[in-house]
Homo-oligomer: A and B are copies of this chain.
Amino acid sequence: MSNLGTIATDRRTLLAGGAAAALFTPGLALAASGDLPAIRKAAEAGYAASVKRIQDWIALPSIAAENLDMEKGADYMAALAKDAGFQHVEKVATEGAPGVFATLDVGAKRWMGIYFMYDVKQYDPAEWSSPPLEARIVDKPGFGKVIVGRGAVNQKGPQAAFLAGLHAIHAAGKTSPVNLVLICEGEEEIGSPHFRQIVTKPHILAALKKCEGVIIPAGWQSPSDGGVTVNLGAKGIVELELVASGAKWGRGPKTDIHSSEKARVDSPAWRLVQALTTLVTPDGNNPAIDNYFEKVRPLTPREKELIALAGKQLSEADAKKALGVEHFIDDLPWEKTLERLASQPTVNIEGLVSGYTGPGGKTVLPGRAVAKMDLRLVPNMTAEDSVAKLRAHLDKRGFADIEVNVSGGYDPTETDENSRLIKAELATYKRNKVPTTIYPRLAGSWPGAVFTSAPVSLPAGQFGLGHGSGAHAPNEYYVIESSNPKVQGLVGSTMSYVDFLYEIAAAK
């Protein structure tokens, strides 16, 4: 979840008040089936094994950006799926890292899709309070017992909680209430560049087509009230580097030269700055790429209604505190900031790198300057079209030499509020007295468009109880034993997936 991260978590963090999440209350279908007591007992009995499953998985980090242990990671993922009862488990080759496709066909009426990733973000052990691959169990005040490690919440913890549900069902001598399709990639953290190659393999596509939808397990309960946001989609994203260089430009130096030469030699760094300036309005807050808004679909009345509702539930003061900002842009009213978050495409600088970047200065005229950028996209923009517009914009202004190196991205994704998937999510949360905010569009991004757009064309979204945080950051954690009655630990999270599967099986 390279681009979901803080947003969803932080937004929920901000939920004001709301009812407390009580003890876990199983869905009618689960309760009615009589399966509940046995499954819960099995989940509790399997707790130690479930914890160890997370820890062992964290010990094997697959990092796509470094091409580290990708085959091993896929093999491990496949073994986890087999172990959880999937009958058909298949490693799927791509032009990049392999994926995994698995099915569990119990002859149920309905099929459900599950999306996993086995890769994790890079980490610097020096920044961690405990070694990021040791997955130590630590007491975290206010949260309870947590696993600290790279991938703890993003995504191995929640994914392992889902698998623990299947183990518990099996251990209780029961059968999954729905058939399952597990679809897994190892390049989520680099923008899923080959994920479409996996889902469009004919037999995989055929399996997916049978599903009600696809969920990605999530551990995003708010520590303040246990609440969860149900996003009806997410913005798309393009990650790219803009590169100005003497080598491509044919002017300026090809390497860093002595800065005194600026008197007579062109500067790729200045060129990058000049090009960047044209991409946004002078306040830096609105895209100014030619025709960038051409395909933007305005918010619907229902989306505005949902945002207005969310605005009442969420606290502006808490949001500012969580983000560490004193003002939103233009000092907009709270609800307007929520509208922009859902509806505004962005052109963001993630990083700037040129010349000398160490402490103090160094008298060089750099031969190369790079802006790391992300573009956030709303319906009906597409990643491909947005990159083409950026390219055309630069070309038109004489910046044809500035490279646009796209490293990854996906289109915006949308899922119907009235789909069985969303209804089952809401029903499960409601029954468990989890405060829920429906938000039209996650401002972050995830490869959901691979599922929601053709040819797969399914509802897709995050689901899950439980809590963790620190995706991409040091000391990433996932709660396994919650000291907060509003937030579920590992067993509660496990049971939320079980409940959801029963709900999907029984839902109208």
Contact = CB atoms under 8 A, between A and B. Distances in A.
The number of times this chain is found in the oligomer is 2
Contacts of A10: 258
Interface string A331-375: 010000100110010111111111111111111111101001110
A362 B237 CA distance: 12
Contact of A366 (B272, B349, B358): B349
A252 B283 CA distance: 12
A302 interface: no
A7 B65 CA distance: 39
A197 interface: no
Contact of A374 (B265, B346, B361): B361
A98 interface: no
A319 to B, nearest CB: 9
Interface string A427-468: 000000000000000111100000000000000000000000
Given A262-B376, A266-B284, A356-B372, A361 B351 contact: yes
A326 to B, nearest CB: 6
Contact of A325 (B251, B352, B373): B251
Given A257-B324, A323-B257, A350 B346 contact: no
Given A349-B354, A361-B351, A372-B355, A328 B262 contact: no
B264 A348 contact: no
B350 A261 contact: no
A284 B267 contact: yes
- SS class of chain A's interface: helix, strand, loop or mixed? mixed
A48 interface: no
B280 A284 contact: no
- Shortest 5 CB-CB distances between A and B: which pairs? A270-B284, A260-B443, A351-B355, A6-B258, A269-B349
Given A7-B260, A263-B344, A361-B372, 9 more contacts: A251-B325, A254-B325, A260-B346, A269-B284, A270-B349, A273-B277, A349-B366, A355-B372, A363-B444
A274 interface: yes
Contacts of A32: none
Given A258-B6, A258-B444, A271-B284, A350 B355 contact: yes
Contacts of A65: 359-360
Contact of A349 (B121, B122, B326, B355): B355
Interface in A359-404: 359-367, 369, 372-374, 376
A376 B407 contact: no
Nearest to A260: B443
A282 interface: yes
Interface of A: 2-3, 5-7, 10, 65-66, 121-122, 190-191, 235, 237, 239-241, 246, 250-255, 257-267, 269-274, 276-277, 280, 282-285, 323-329, 332, 337, 340-341, 344, 346-367, 369, 372-374, 376, 407-408, 442-445, 472
Given A277-B277, A350-B362, A341 B263 contact: yes
Contact of A445 (B190, B250, B260): B260
16 contacts: A2-B363, A3-B260, A5-B258, A6-B258, A191-B361, A251-B325, A260-B442, A260-B444, A261-B443, A265-B323, A274-B282, A324-B367, A350-B364, A351-B362, A353-B357, A363-B472
